[in-house]
Structure 1
């Protein structure tokens, strides 16, 4: 359960299409997860209506993978997005995958400014293994 949790706020995103298209954002997120070697189990993305007839709505989505999750929320009326990338594993360090996933998403959204926090979660605990019953 040890892993890296990256929490980021992106400001001034210059790729407005990714902020307003749930299908395009889903395609980007799922592909990025697979590219860095994560095991995608499922996803759900939702497209919001705009605040009024002159604006496109934002989108929100999650990708669940065996190693944890990605959550993304966009606010096109503010040219912003938030990311939540958590990658963990009981047998190995997947922090490199978390960083690569984060970098791919930031490169695609093209923010002018980012506020980011990295949280190291979990402890090194021994893995409990069940003993097989003796065969009689």
Structure 2
């Protein structure tokens, strides 16, 4: 049992869907930069990276995914719309909000839409 009055962190399973419209669509076709951005965010949020993959489509759009011990983090880009869709399924003691903040900072957005859904684990 913890110290009296000490805050106990409760593990949650949360799904985040983030739409980010960017100023410069050039970042949306740069797979190495996007994978690095996901890695940086995962490390900042204390996530453990188990694997990663990426794919560049004929129009330059990128899909990049990190498999995390706590679940996954992905980005799908739509350069023709200046749009990136980010999905994070996070469980445990990772800082999902910090992870998303790092990604948003790296993308230099003009507009962001974040949806957070608490998922059932019991």
TM-score, length of structure 2 as denominator length: 0.83
The answer to whether the 8 A contact 1:15-1:108 is kept is no
Is 1:116 aligned to residue 118 of structure 2?
A: no
Structure 1 or 2: more strand by fraction: 2
TM-score, length of structure 1 as denominator length: 0.75
Is 1:19 aligned to residue 19 of structure 2?
A: no
- Structure 1 residues 1-136: aligned runs within 5 Å: 2-11=12-21, 13-50=22-59, 57-89=60-92, 93-94=93-94, 97-123=95-121, 125=122
Stretches of structure 1 that go unaligned for 5 or more consecutive residues are: 51-56, 126-136
Cα deviation for residue 110 of structure 1 reads: 1.6
What is the SS of the residue equivalent to 2:109?
coil
What is the SS of the residue equivalent to 1:73?
strand
- 2:69 & 2:24 partners in 1: Cα distance? 29
Stretches of structure 2 that go unaligned for 5 or more consecutive residues are: 1-10
What is the SS of the residue equivalent to 1:37?
coil
Mark the structure with the bigger radius of gyration.
1
- 1:15 & 1:66 partners in 2: Cα distance? 32
Cα deviation for residue 75 of structure 1 reads: 0.8
